[in-house]
Structure 1
Amino acid sequence: MTESLRLDLLGPLRAWSGPEALELGPIRQQSLLAVLALRANQVISPDDLVELVWSEAPPATGAKIVPPYVYRLRKLLPEGVVVHSRDGYRLQLAPDALDLDRFESLVSAGRTARAEGDLDAAAAELSAALALFHGEPLKGLAGHYLAVQRHRLTERRLKVLSERIDLDLERGRYGDLVPELVALVEEDRLREQFAGQLMLAYWRSGRVSEALDTYGRARAELVEQLGVEPGPGLRAIHQKILRNEGSGVPGPVVRDELPYDGANFVGRDRELTEVVAALTSDAHAERMPVVAIDGMAGVGKTALAIRAARRVAEAYPEGRLFIDLHGYTPDRSPMSSAQVLDRLLRTLAVAADRIPAELEERAALWRSELAGHRVLVVLDNAPDSAVVKPLLVGSPTCAVLVTSRRQLTDLEATTRLALDVLTPDDATALLTEMVGSTRADDEAAAAAVVEYCGYLPLAIRVAGSRLRHRPSWTVEHLGRRLGAQDRRLAELSTDGGGVSPAFALSYGQLPADQQRLFRLLGLMTGHDIDVYAAAAVAGAEPDGTEVLLESLVDANLLLEPSPGRYQFHDLLQYYARSLGETEVDVARRLATYYLYAAADASEAIFSSRLNPLPPPPPIKLPPFDGPADGLAWGDAEGGNVLATLHKTEALGLDELTWRLSLTISPYYYQRSRLDEMDEALELGLVAARRDATDSEAESRILLSIGNLGRYRQGAKQSLQTLQESRRLLPEAADPVLRGRLLASIGYSMVKLDPTDEALAVLAEALEVSRRAGDASLSSRVLAYIGVACGDRLEWEESLQAYEDGLRFARKVNDVAIQIDLLNGIGECLLELGRVDEALEPLETAHALGVERGADYSLIYSLAFLSTAYSRQGDWDEALSVARESVRLAMASGSALSELNARLRLARTLLGVGDAGHARPHFARTLELATEECQEVAISAAAAGLADCDAAEATAREM
């Protein structure tokens, strides 16, 4: 029974009865057990037990207190372990029942092995002995006797640890020892034994400067704390290093200076392969590999560099040097080239009196020392290219691996790698590695967390650390905390580092003008920005602004996903926003730029401006040489403009909001971005209703909503919106605006029913446009009259209206309306049986529509061309353009456009004898025409279905 008890004293007291761990009760009871264990198999009198256990506060009852405690121990421990005799009490333990006994046995075995010359076995025995310690010996137990024993055992452990380190030094494990010894020296700066061993480990690794620095720090600590010089042992090691006696390091050989590269290294397979290949490729036989890795703060440059350096260790057997250039270290200036060379040369055991003072001579000595050797030099956190250039080795047998937050564009690197954030899968894998698969089993929540972290390794590590140290948190809870944008940076930063401090170091390295632009851009409203918009935000010239933008890209504080377009990593933008610029000022400047740029783009697309603007501010706008430029600008900036509208509306910048919504909406319409168009106009309407400075504002917005939204809302809803606009229009309103409104009202009336009343409204609009002298408006009204006459099947009158409108449009070069007029002319000629004449206007309209990206106009050009080609017997071409017309119509969301396109396609299919495929198109046309109350289309669709029936009946009879 006694053999089943085991006790551990080399840490908090623990006990087992067989495999079962025992609960040992109150501290004093544990102290009594510990005293008995330390004197196992010895009889201890009650008086002695009182002295040993209760020494600091002996009980008034004296030795009478012992039996109750012994009784409880007997109940707790296996039977027969606590033995009582006339002289006292004894803890009966089997050999090796105490971890302390096992410790001493292992130490003895280790010393025997060392005496026999088996250093590996000796180190293994001592390591096994040290592994028995599981914390501070006898931790927390009361009494002076146990305190003395605690100190004795701690010192015993340190002595054995020192012996094991000596063994490792003898075995040449210098590089492996450095991290362990650094921690030991930091833990007790007055313990000379470990300081001396660290000096030896550094020195025998070839890291002479660090060995000497260690001595200097140890001496300073001893003098300051104790007022004494280092002991003879430490001084002897110091002198030995100074004289370079017996280091065992021939020339510049360095075993390994690479730091620990962390347990959580995930992904980067492609990048790691690229760096390893660059450092080991035979292509560099005549030229030293220089690999430069750059990227934003926290993206994992150092981790990748160290991992790659370890992968290529065999290719550089004479050493791997590592030095932090402190380009971005808090409260520390970057190292100069001269300082780095001094450090590197001393690492190679070059005597101080041989190191030149001049930088060029120092660099030459550095190159000479490494010539012909196979050494890898890792230069971490380089501030710029100028510091790195003198450090390049030159010998093709060596290699240099550099990391920096800046793009080292002036460095002649053989390989460059711009390190991006992790992929979503790798980011999730990193979080899972940190917190465990059990904690991260909610895949959606984990994906949300790493997305909030911007897939940035540093941010993910901070988030994972927070989760790991808070057992009550779930990944979903962490995700909710990170989901609040105003607190995200705080959640991903700590007192000792994290995201914000890392970004702050990069920001702090910038000149003042770059810092200002960085702060301002942080408040940009869209996804990205171009040079002109950035210049407007900064109140500067585009050329100078472009230089600053490229500098921020070089510093990896800004991304350039495509030439001339710049954007932030999400977390960097949150940091920039936290730096104090005024949001409303930036939004105002950006919206003003977008307003006038959109107006110029619109004029380039449509050859006219629909809405007047105040005189532009003194800002530079991009050039627009034609429709393609205007469309390209809108394609790039359309989303940013909408985001800006949301911001200006929220900030109460009402006039800017409604004017910008009016100016950008025709582009959205042209590109069939109708959801964005609706959203922009709704924001404009809210702002216009609040803006008391312009009585026409709300009426203008409602006009655009009714006019541009006609094909989405339907003619009836459009007419109601336009009538509301007319009611709000002031009596003294701009006559052109009144004419546009009357024209839109008349056109909606026409689409409901082309009555004489509708034509009268259009006639009034035409008269207003002529009095105002606005040829563009006149051409637009005549186009509407042409549609009305066509819906009345009055094709000659319709053709006349279209041709008159085309003359007005060409007079002012309004190409946008010319496309619609040419389509109308082509349709009339088709209906009048003049097919050959119809092709020219229709093909011209199609070409102009393609040039201007006019999807709505193209729907009709293609639909009418399908009819023309089919009547000429070119059925393949007819079907091709008809199908494209239907595709564009369905994408537009316009029921009227779709029914027109489907009707033409159905007729073409029927013409080639494919009644089966024509039928569903006729049926869908009938459905849409009925919904839109289009009588002519209803009749045409019904007739088409009847023709399908007849064709199928004829086919069956045959």
Structure 2
Amino acid sequence: MHGDELRYTLLGPVKVLSGAGESIPVAPQQRAILAMLIARRGRAVTIDDLVHGVWGPSAPERARSILQSQVFELRRKLEPGRPPRTAAKVLASAPVGYRLLIAKDACDVDRFDRDVSEAERAAGDGDREGARQLLCSALSLWRGEPLAGVPGPHAESLRGALTERRLATVETRIRLELELGAHAETVPELTLLVAEHPLREGLRAQLILALYRSGRQAEALAAYADGRSVLATELGVAPGAELSDLHQRILRADPSLTADLPRAAASSGPPLTGVPGIADGAASGPTAVTARYRHPTPAQLPAPPADFTGRAAAVGQLLSALDAESPHIVVSAVSGLGGVGKTALALHAGHRVRDRYPDGQLHVDLGGMATDPVEPDEVLGRFLRALGVGSVPDGLDERTALYRSVLAGRRVLVLLDNAAHSRQIDPLLPNTSGCAALVTSRAKLSLPSAHAFELDVFSAEEALALMSRIVGPDRIAAEPEAAAALVTACGQLPLAVRIVSARLAQRPAWTVAGLVERLAEEQHRLDHIKIGDLAVDATFRLSYDQLTPDLARAFRLASLAEGPVLSVPMAAALLDRDEQQTRSLLEQLVDAALLEPSGKWHYRYHDLLRLFARARAKEAEPGARAAGAAGASTAPVRAEGAEADAALDRLVDFCLATVRDAYRLSRPGCTTPDELAATCTTPVRFERFATGQEWVRRELDTLLGVLRTAARRPGVRTAPAADLLLALDPFGESDFLWPHLNGPAAALADAAARHGEPAAEIRARYMLGGGLWQVGRRDEGRAQVEHAMTLSRATGDEAIRGQLLNVSGLLATTGATTSEGHQAALALFRESVAVHVQRGNLWGELESRNNTAHPLRQLGRLPEALDCLADALGRAAPLGWTLVRAYAQSGHAQTLLSLGRPAEAVASYTEALSGCQEIGSEHMELIVERGLGEALHALGQYGQAAAHLERSLAGAQRLGNDPLRALALLALGTTLSAAGHAERADACLRAAHALHLQLGIPVPEPLAAYSTDD
């Protein structure tokens, strides 16, 4: 065997690997000798040094001969084929000792150092993400404690030095991740590191900053107080300047905290790649990668219009306002008619001044003309995530405060397009100098100190210039008078000019004069019709009338779906065409400027064109033209009638068929899909649940729109939509979609009641009741479920009675404070099991059996609970990893913990966590993370426990799951208290107490003391 084929590991157990990757057995003393020789990198080590390094002062009398014997054995293992009496080529003799001939990068320490050095260079070049990845690669080489099990003074010294280098690298990686904006994501690992290294002020400073930037100010201050106490107790010193300065800056809400990070390192990111619990020491390894803190730099502005024309005066005024140095935020508001070019102007100007706002550009379409404009708190959630905030707080006020804190000290341009009114945008405005907000709206907004611009229609020259760019200058120059008449007929409105120009460009044989005549005829016939505040129907009508019947139908029907964008499969259902035909039709509408592309095979309407298309859909129905001749309606345009209703029915049918298919994969053995209405549309097929889950995530806006539309369609059965809502149950559970589903569920329940459809009402109220319970509105949820149960009994509808009993049990056990309450919940779960068994619903039976364990635990009947869960686990295992198996595994672990068997509970929770990750259910994963944290706490592993609990808390906050957040805060506070972090523990427990009261959850014993506080 050649020396250049051998590989050596020190970052974990000392190993020698052959060229084939096989481990060569080496005895402990031989590993100690090897470690010394590897560390010298080919240089000679004297026999005396080797003796001292292996045995120290307690070396035996025959140490030298023992050493030589061990070297002989090592040589035989490293070069098994070496002929006798020939010189060793790997472990060679030296004049006073030995040396190991080792190839470059043959040792994992060399590869570790190489990656760290390359990371330093990458960071120096400004490539933080590249540097982070290199450090992750370096840390992935670690396989536990370095030189694990190797005896001797040298091994102990080298072990300490390597451990120090590892921790220094971890700190550098974490700091880079903070620089990349992973504030909330760093908290779990930082919590673990601070617990293991409580005297390291740099780590604590970054934990404090990460908490503060995540909107957890009380915990940040508490973490400082804990550090001050530890330093005083252990060392008799006060916190250093860095920590004290950070504390003072938080107290005075220093806006620069959101712009610059303190110089000292320490940070966090993905879980440590080495084995947790290594006794890391102070940083003394490679030079830290130096760089000031930087947030993510969002660049959300859509591309500027390539054919932007004219508007020289407006552009100049807008650029002047945005370029101005001001001690206050710059706000520019552009108002004007729909289609006048406000968005085009804003995008053009925004891209022109991007360099003045190097910290990013944010953009949102506020949907001012939509039935339901985008709410400010939803926009703030998007913006905060784009700015690097991983854990977004609940509530408009909290999000607004954090948003403005994050923007403080930064130069960011915020483009708020298509605003409905000033109330919608007030929370979205930054409040610091250096930032600018550019707002567009059809209404004149009342914004203090704003630069207001009212955009008028094009001048004749600007309109002709745009037409020339689209149609071609030669054709326009050949008919100058007709061209002038054409832009006049368009009202010189940019959108109208663009549409007729696109039509003219597609018809080379048409003359401009001929188009003017057609437009004049349309205007005369339709001059009484308006869309909103704009009389442009004639312009739109001209392009519409030139469409083939198939294209016109596609234009009408595709507009019926709600949601910001429409995918090809959804459009195909509306049009009753296959996807290839649908894609062709939509692309032709894009060519006619009647539709806009929005990503791969997704499309969107300009809101005016959507209204026009829906008006045409209504007009296309029998009798509509006669009704329209009586006068224009000022009510919002809603397409009703046979064609539109048939299209919407097909869309519901397609969505139900597709979601049902994914439901079956999610809940094998469940009979609910068989209870849903029959469908006739070919659905999207999925091979596994994860792909169906991804489809639902991608199409969620359209699915919610389908439900809302169904709830308000007069005289149309709600049953198919109620079935679609019920089919979304697994996705509400796996992705915690309840905050999104509750609104449509309430609307459908009311609609079903109005229409006299009890089966649909039962299903909608079941979904609403469970959804309200999930978000912490237990009393409201109970009322909905009781209403559904009453209807079920009155009508004899047994289809989902088992599910209703199950959720009734959940509602009962959540609020139970007495044994009678838990007995009542137990009875409901057992009745649910019986109903599911009768109906052959294996999934439902297992789900209710799992839930039976909760009241059994509360009643102290732990062995019975364990047997129940073990039975459910055994029956669920053949189904593969599903949510019902994950719930059973988690409940099994929780019961083991209640029985005082925490080590077994940790193993069971770990298996459940692996299953959740395989399923792809973040929601269930967060529940298991909390349980695993509690089990690790019981074992006294407080650092690891806190890391899991932090992940559960951050995820619960992100998903809006307040009940889980309350439980995670309680568990985290208890763990931090046990670990000696009294101040931060108190902050968590106070927050948990307040949340329990807010949600109406019984206050547990650890929080009882807070009930007496003022």
TM-score (norm 2): 0.44
TM-score (norm 1): 0.47
Higher relative contact order (Cα pairs below 8 Å, separated by 6+ residues): 2
